[in-house]
Structure 1
């Protein structure tokens, strides 16, 4: 019997004060937590890069 272990991907980002303030503002405006803000940013970046390549 084979046990499959799934590991969750994780990211650690160091932020300066300006980036921390931008994240805080986005959390307030979009009613999201930091993880959701980062997920939204990554998806947006991915989509922009994808559209440039096509």
Structure 2
């Protein structure tokens, strides 16, 4: 049973790490090119997640 729990935790940790990597990459891209074609999506992402948390 403990092995099964460990694998579940590992999968969750890996997913969280991937999400962090993606978010950091997007943030870096946004800083590099301030005028991004993504428009509203980029701005809402910055205001919602960046300022509140």
- TM-score clears 0.5: no
TM range (shorter): 0.3 to 0.5
More helix by proportion, 1 or 2? 2
Using structure 1 for the length normalisation, give the TM-score.
0.41
More relative contact order in 1 or in 2 (CA 8 Å, sep 6+)? 1
